[in-house]
Structure 1
Amino acid sequence: MKPDQYDDFARTYDAENTSSLLNAYYERPAMLELAGDVRGLRVLDAGCGSGPLTAELLARGAEVTGIDGSPAMIELARERLGDGVPLHVGDLAAPLPFADDAFDVVTASLVLHYLEDWSAPLAELRRVLTPGGRLLVSVNHPFVRTVNFPEEDYFATRQYSEDLEFDGVPAVLTMWHRPLSAMTRSFVEAGFHVLAVDEPAPSPETPSELMPPRIASGERTAFVCFLFFTLEAA
């Protein structure tokens, strides 16, 4: 397996992910809200990373399996979750090591935007979902690139890199932009019904010191950052 870009900064990313506005108080609460009551359900956390979402789903009574392309992230997930949770190192662009109809819900939290081609990964996620099962997806909102880089072609699927900082440590992430139309077309072609598209506000439990000033003041209700999909396996 090719090295995963997260291997170089897994622990600092995990530290950031645990308490940051975008992860702990925006993306993760939104995914849990979409998941709803998962008691007794078989859930695959696809792109589980170091396991914070996996842990929340377990706490809500789900039977959770995790898979991620980064061996370093999976080791951190084992530290967080213990040995009782099935965790796999695996590439979402390759066949998944699970039987057909193995899961009732799949969560794909901030992972698909690292993949150039969605057709094979989505086909595999559809295969391992029971008919009528749900795929919950969060990705970078495609409109953010349009706002920040108006000279770029919004409708072109293209690779880009971002210089970021995790827990004070610089890092570079390489991702793929695709327009909303390309996303929804990929979902439908893979055999999913699009049930909902969401642009949530931050959790009401967000500490005031983390809240963006224009939201804290009441001037705005939310910000554009990630886009969320609720899909049903046809």
Structure 2
Amino acid sequence: MKADHYDSFAERYSVDNESNLINGYYERPAMIGLAGDVAGRRILDAGCGSGPLSAALRERGAVVTGFDSSRAMVELARRRLGGDATLLVADLSGPLPFADGAFDDVVASLVLHYLEDWTAPLAELRRVLRPGGRLILSVNHPMVYTAVNPGADYFALARWSEEYTFDGHTAELTYWHRPLHAMTAAFTDAGFRLSVVSEPPMSPETPREILPPHLVDRTTFICFIFFVLEAH
């Protein structure tokens, strides 16, 4: 997906992201929980968007650097985090402007599933992590692809799109599906050790009124899958 695609609806996406079920009460709380105690840790927010995860980690004592390929998203992040925040326009498709071993952790929230090839991006994220550092990431759960596309081949690398509404604005997002074993093989090939695989419940603070009818009596649902990887 081109960066300017997000530029066209960045503000609307950011508003929707703040308090919706999927981001505000499911994905972001899960990422924060997996990160744990981050006080004093140097964290790179890869694909930081408008900065809600960066802000949450900084509030918990982390020293956060962020980048995104969307210039509009980075500007929104600057508004949120202030002029002293280190925020850059950069893209995982190329080399990152950071030194080897510069970070204790990298968080990549709903980023990798936009990429067809994970080889170079994972190598770059491994490069900027110190030995023993963590890559904490979320992507579309691989079961979502076959649920949305009945009859599709789960085991194939496949491009697919879905339409969403963000604060009244309709936009199409395009993803790359890969089966679970392909994800874990890519992590291993890039020099990571798999530490955690998580399919978490939604936040216990989720307001009942934002739940769709089929989730009112449930705490879990298939949406994203989360990993904690250790650099070695």
Shorter-chain TM band: over 0.9
1:179-218 equivalent positions in 2, closer than 5 A: 179-217=179-217
Q: Partner of 1:68 in structure 2?
A: 68
Give the whole-Å Cα distance in 2 for the aligned partners of 1:230 and 1:77: 25
Percent identity between matched residues is 64
1:228 aligns with 2:223: no
Gaps of 5+ in 1: none
Provide closer, same or farther for how the CA distance between residues 207 and 158 of structure 1 changes in structure 2, counting only shifts above 3 A.
same
Letter in 2 for 1:13: Y
1:214 Cα shift? 4.2
Provide closer, same or farther for how the CA distance between residues 194 and 206 of structure 1 changes in structure 2, counting only shifts above 3 A.
same
Letter in 1 for 2:231: A
Q: Partner of 1:25 in structure 2?
A: 25
Partner secondary structure for residue 29 of structure 1: helix
1:3 Cα shift? 4.0
Structure 1 residues 191-223: Cα deviation after superposition (integer angstroms, max 9, x where no partner): 000011100010000011123434432xx3310
Partner secondary structure for residue 209 of structure 1: helix
| RMSD of aligned residue pairs (Cα, Å) | 1.0
1:122 aligns with 2:85: no
1:150 Cα shift? 2.3
Give the whole-Å Cα distance in 2 for the aligned partners of 1:42 and 1:90: 18
Give the whole-Å Cα distance in 2 for the aligned partners of 1:36 and 1:10: 29
Structure 1 residues 37-62: Cα deviation after superposition (integer angstroms, max 9, x where no partner): 00000000000000000000000000
Gaps of 5+ in 2: none
How many residues end up aligned between the 2 structures?
A: 231
Give the whole-Å Cα distance in 2 for the aligned partners of 1:72 and 1:26: 24
1:146 Cα shift? 1.4
- TM normalised by structure 1 equals 0.96
Give the whole-Å Cα distance in 2 for the aligned partners of 1:196 and 1:181: 15
1:79 aligns with 2:82: no
